Amino acid sequence: MPVAPAAGLPVDLPVDQAAELGRLLREDRLVSWFQPVVDLATGAVVAHEALVRGPAGSPLHLPDQLFATARGHGLLAELDAACRAAAFRGAAAHGLVEPLALFVNVEPEVLDSAPLDVLLEIAASAPGHLRVVVELTERALAHRPSDLLRTVERVREAGWAVALDDVGAEELSLAFMPLLRPDVVKLDLRLVQSAPGPDVAQVMNAVNAYAEESGALVLAEGIEDERHLRLAHALGASLGQGWLFGRPQPVPATDLPTGSLRLPPPPSGTGQGAAATSPFALLPPSTELRQAPKKLLVELSKQLEREAMRAGSTCVVASTFQEARHFTPATTGRYRDLVERTAFVCALGEDLPAEPMPGVRGATLSPEDPVRGEWDVVVLAPHFSAALLARDLGDTGPDAQRRFEYALTYERSTVAAAGRSLLARVVAQDLSRATGPEGGAEEGPRPPAGPGRGRGPARAEARQGSGEVDESVLRRALAASTSGVTIADLRRPDQPLVYVNPAFERLSGFPAEQVLGRNCRFLQGSDTDPAVVTSIRAALDAGLEWSGVLLNHRGVERTPWWNEIHLSPVRDADGRLVHYIGVQTDVTERVQAQRELAAERDRSRAHLARIEELAYTDPLTGLDNRRRFESRLEAALWDARATGSGLAVVLLDLDGFKAVNDTHGHATGDELLVALAERLRRRLRRADLVCRLGGDEFLVALPGLDPGQAGRLAAEQAAAVVAQLRADLTRPVAVGAGEVSVGVSAGVALHPADGDAVTALVHAADQRMFTEKRVHRRR
């Protein structure tokens, strides 16, 4: 029985619409309408998407109202299951079997309860073979990526294909594409219906790169006219859907030719197999392995982290740390930056918690897991992939000196497989926490949710209780609440407040008689964030829930305070929006603490940056010092090995610099070095490396040279750069004492002809520089 409204409360309380929806679910009254999916090259219908409808004339006829009601009454899982069952029944009834395919949707909120067993039974009973493509929306990625990965696993096990829907609405979908490996990529309709721009180009570069690599099909939604169709072709879509080809209808259209949906072969290495394999074991047998102390691996890890931040919001990072103690405060600082600038970050290690720090997904490793003995860093983005995969050799002694066998690979399929291996472990732990006794779920098998069988109606019945609630109980409950409660009437002009509880009176600093009848904007001030206010207004206009924090002002003194607000729409029996209920809490202390923490974090970050700068840069010129140069040169050498490109190391020595010091003093010498360092910066490319060795010597590295003609082209390119540098450095420099100038001796070493290691290349360049200097002296 519904809760009786308390007399005297100036608002209609929400009417529970679960009964009507529950009846539709129990009686199997929901049906599917079908919209064709067309092969753009031939115009043939190759699939239909199933779209749910309620009975004609019902307020729950359209999907928006159906799902809004289900969410509001805890029936989403039941509705989602009924939608797919209706889709399968309709497909069987209308003969939508092979070679046609059927696209069905899964709501992201109910990924873990999708009743595949029920669907498999329906599919098995259909005449002919039912080809199913399960659509997963990218909305699930933002908060439930592990659930989405687990759902993909289950769908693959059923022998069905996977489509990733709404790609391009959020950047996270671009990051997860190579990990989810969808068979079909459905572009968000704005890509077809809006004017092309940089954001569209970014999405399509990533989608087309994935499609070319994987063979996935690209489907453009929202094609309503010929202009949309031309743009869909231009974007690389091979499939299309939209009103130009047919609107959703209860009986599939038969006026178009039909064809077969040619899906790529199912990917291998998913599910339990991914978790059973360690990233290091995924390296191809031909991979060249090296040995290095952990200290070097840490530096390589930092370099990959920097690459991840450069890749930005479309990048996924997965790392292992062996044990929780290796996830140090310094690691926390770096990973805080990764969380802020990349799409998804996870960390694994023995005894690591589910969230080692805010924004990082964690998973513990058992001592028997082979990954427990590895040091892995995986960075995967649409246009960049790299993985450091290392295995502990079991040394004892100082931690930083423990040796590892490792490889640094940029081969995309290996990097993606390593990422899936680590994410599979995160998924497995999420599932364990969700279903184990500590997760609060019941042990033993759980029956599949379905129409009339799910937990939603039980929750609704429990919520209704066995009798009416006395109005005095409601009044006392609202009065006792420590959170401010308000109700605004949307049917009246300016949406005035029609109820406030005592807690809100204390929060606002005004008695009820001074706030009733007013719009709640009186709490705002000139320093209230207009963007947040705009967001609230947009939610109210759309009849949606809203949660957030807003700066308000209290009483006649206008004392500022931070208000955490939760707004919920209230509809009448006919579904019309009539009121909004607001629950408000003073979170000023929390906001101030967060701001102080952020300020302290920024100060600490600045201090750490300064410490790092002092440790890795030359204090006079600001160039890298030898320590950082050699670390970056090591990374450049790995890249050269992986890509087959050429690389040169150049040592420059200033001839006559001692005479400048002796004649004009060390201050003038320092001024000269600073000016020449700036000339080096301006002349070299962004990817080139330069450092001051000390005194009057500089080291330069030139990666990305042409390795053709057995290295002769690389030698010619390096010689041309050296000639330019020599011309720049020997030009007179204006200093306080007038103009001074120096000569330059240079030595060049080429990789791999003169060596494959940093020390060998620097030594060869040094020897050639001294040879040139001796020649100059003889002249």
Question: Over 13-75, what HEC string results?
Answer: CCCCCHHHHHHHHHCCCCEEEEEEEEECCCCCEEEEEEEEECCCCCCCCCHHHHHHHHHHCCC
Percent of the chain with pLDDT over 90: 34
Distance, in Å, from the CA atom of 690 to the CA atom of 676, rounded to the nearest integer, reads: 12
Distance, in Å, from the CA atom of 293 to the CA atom of 316, rounded to the nearest integer, reads: 26
Distance, in Å, from the CA atom of 275 to the CA atom of 279, rounded to the nearest integer, reads: 10
CA of 203: how far to CAs of 131, 148, 311, 374, 419, in Å?
A: 28, 21, 14, 34, 21
CA of 153: how far to CAs of 93, 160, 530, 757, in Å?
A: 28, 10, 44, 44
Window from 165-174, 359-368, 728-737 with minimum mean pLDDT: 165-174
Helix (H, G, I), strand (E, B) or coil at 167: strand
Residue whose structure tokens are 């694994």: 348
What is the predicted pLDDT for the residue at 21? 81
Distance, in Å, from the CA atom of 462 to the CA atom of 504, rounded to the nearest integer, reads: 29
Q: Yes or no: say if 649 and 712 are a contact pair by the CB < 8 Å rule.
A: no
Torsion of CA 280, 281, 282, 287, to 10 degrees: 80
pLDDT mean over 81-89: 83
What is the predicted pLDDT for the residue at 25? 83
Handedness of CA 411, 412, 417, 419 (dihedral sign): positive
pLDDT mean over 513-518: 88
Which residue type is seen at 160? W
Window from 161-170, 648-657, 670-679 with minimum mean pLDDT: 161-170
pLDDT mean over 690-694: 91
Q: pTM of the predicted model, to two decimals?
A: 0.53
Secondary structure (H, E, C), 483-521 = CEEEEEECCCCCCCEEEECHHHHHHHCCCHHHHCCCCHH
* H/E element, 733: strand 733-735
Query: 247-256, pLDDT tens digit by residue?
Result: 999 888 777 8
CA of 303: how far to CAs of 282, 635, 747, 757, in Å?
A: 22, 8, 28, 18
**CA Rg, the chain, in Å?**
33
pLDDT at 392 > cutoff 50 = yes
Q: Yes or no: say if 169 and 185 are a contact pair by the CB < 8 Å rule.
A: no
Distance, in Å, from the CA atom of 218 to the CA atom of 232, rounded to the nearest integer, reads: 10
Q: Is the peptide bond before 703 cis (omega within 30 degrees of 0)?
A: no
Q: Where are the beta strands (DSSP E) in 129-264?
A: 131-137, 161-167, 184-187, 217-220, 239-240
Better pLDDT: 72 or 358 = 358
pLDDT at 295 > cutoff 60 = yes
pLDDT at 205 > cutoff 50 = yes
* Sequence-separated (6 or more) residues with CB below 8 Å from residue 758: 630, 633, 634, 637
pLDDT at 171 > cutoff 80 = no
What is the predicted pLDDT for the residue at 198? 72
Distance, in Å, from the CA atom of 629 to the CA atom of 616, rounded to the nearest integer, reads: 8
Percent of the chain with pLDDT over 70: 86
Q: Is 462 exposed, middle or buried (0-12, 13-18, 19+ CB in 10 A)?
A: exposed
Q: Please work out, in degrees rounded to the nearest 5, the angle formed at the alpha carbon of residue 185 by the alpha carbons of 179 and 186.
A: 135
Shortest CA distance to 620 belongs to which of 669, 655, 658, 657?
669
CA of 457: how far to CAs of 17, 530, 535, in Å?
A: 11, 41, 33
Better pLDDT: 653 or 196 = 653
Helices (H), 617-649: 626-643
Query: 100-148, pLDDT tens digit by residue?
Result: 899 988 765 555 555 555 555 555 554 567 788 888 876 555 455 666 6
Q: Where are the beta strands (DSSP E) in 110-241?
A: 131-137, 161-167, 184-187, 217-220, 239-240
Tokens in use for 275?
Answer: 């978790």
Other CB atoms within 10 Å distance of the CB of residue 407? 19
Distance, in Å, from the CA atom of 475 to the CA atom of 84, rounded to the nearest integer, reads: 43
Better pLDDT: 647 or 448 = 647
pLDDT at 36 > cutoff 50 = yes
pLDDT at 218 > cutoff 90 = yes
pLDDT at 207 > cutoff 90 = no
